[in-house]
Amino acid sequence: MSKFQRVFSGVRTWVARHREQLWAYLFIAPGILTFLVFNLFSTLASVGISFTDWRLLKPPNFVGLANYQRLFADPVFSKALVNTGIYTFVGVPVGVFLALLLAMALNQQIKGITFFRVAYYMPVISASVAIAMVWMWIFSRDYGILNYLIRSLGGTSVDWLNNTKTVLLAATIVSIWKDLGFKVIIFLAALQDIPEDLMDAAKIDGARWWQQFTRVVVPLISPAILYVTITGFIGAVQGFDIVYNMRFDHDGGPARATTTLAFYIWEMGFSNLRMGYAATLAIALFLIILLITFIQWRLRKRFVYAEV
Asked if 193 and 265 count as a contact pair (C-beta separation under 8 A), the reply is no
Q: What is the pLDDT of residue 145?
A: 92
Number of domains in the chain: 2
Residues 16 and 127 in one domain: no
- Residue 151 in any domain: the answer is no
How far, CA to CA in Å, does 49 sit from each of 6, 42, 260, 275? 50, 10, 21, 7
Mean pLDDT of 9-34: 78
- Range among 71-85, 157-171, 209-223, 234-248 with highest mean pLDDT value: 71-85
- Residue 233 in any domain: the answer is yes
Mean pLDDT of 47-67: 90
* Pick from 142, 165, 169, 172: nearest CA to 255: 165
Residues 29 and 99 in one domain: no
Residues 99 and 218 in one domain: yes
| Alpha-carbon span 88 to 265, nearest angstrom | 17
Q: Provide the whole-model pTM.
A: 0.84
Q: How far apart are the first and last CA of the chain?
A: 56
Residues 38 and 113 in one domain: no
Residues 233 and 105 in one domain: yes
Residues 34 and 103 in one domain: no
What is the band of 249 on the pLDDT scale with cuts at 50, 70, 90? low
Residues 42 and 190 in one domain: no
For residue 223, list its beta bridge partners. none
Question: Which CATH number belongs to the domain containing residue 114 in this structure?
Answer: 1.10.3720.10
The single-letter DSSP state of residue 54 is -
Q: What is the pLDDT of residues 176-191, one digit of tens each?
A: 999 999 999 999 999 9
- Residue 144 in any domain: the answer is no
- Residue 147 in any domain: the answer is no
For residue 61, list its beta bridge partners. 53
| Alpha-carbon span 50 to 255, nearest angstrom | 27
List Cβ neighbours of 62 (8 Å cut-off, separation of 6 or more).
51, 52
Q: What is the C-alpha R_g of the chain?
A: 26
Helix (H, G, I), strand (E, B) or coil at 267: helix
Higher pLDDT, 97 or 257: 97
Tell me the percentage of the chain whose pLDDT exceeds 70.
Answer: 93
List Cβ neighbours of 110 (8 Å cut-off, separation of 6 or more).
none
Asked if 170 and 144 count as a contact pair (C-beta separation under 8 A), the reply is no
Does pLDDT of 201 surpass 90?
no
Asked if 276 and 49 count as a contact pair (C-beta separation under 8 A), the reply is yes
* Pick from 260, 300, 295: nearest CA to 281: 260
Higher pLDDT, 210 or 182: 182
What is the band of 308 on the pLDDT scale with cuts at 50, 70, 90? low
- Residue 88 in any domain: the answer is yes
Residues 29 and 119 in one domain: no
List Cβ neighbours of 100 (8 Å cut-off, separation of 6 or more).
183, 187, 225
- Residue 89 in any domain: the answer is yes
252: left (phi over 0), alpha (psi -120 to 50) or beta: left
Mean pLDDT of 225-240: 92
Nearest-5° angle of CA 199, CA 200, CA 204? 120
Residues 41 and 75 in one domain: no
Residues 190 and 65 in one domain: yes
Residues 111 and 258 in one domain: yes
- Residue 158 in any domain: the answer is no
Helix (H, G, I), strand (E, B) or coil at 208: coil
- Residue 160 in any domain: the answer is no
- The domain of 45 spans 10-49
Q: What is the DSSP string of 76-134?
A: HHHHHHHHHHHHHHHHHHHHHHHHHHHHHHHTS--TTHHHHHHHHHHHHHS-HHHHHHH
Residues 184 and 278 in one domain: yes
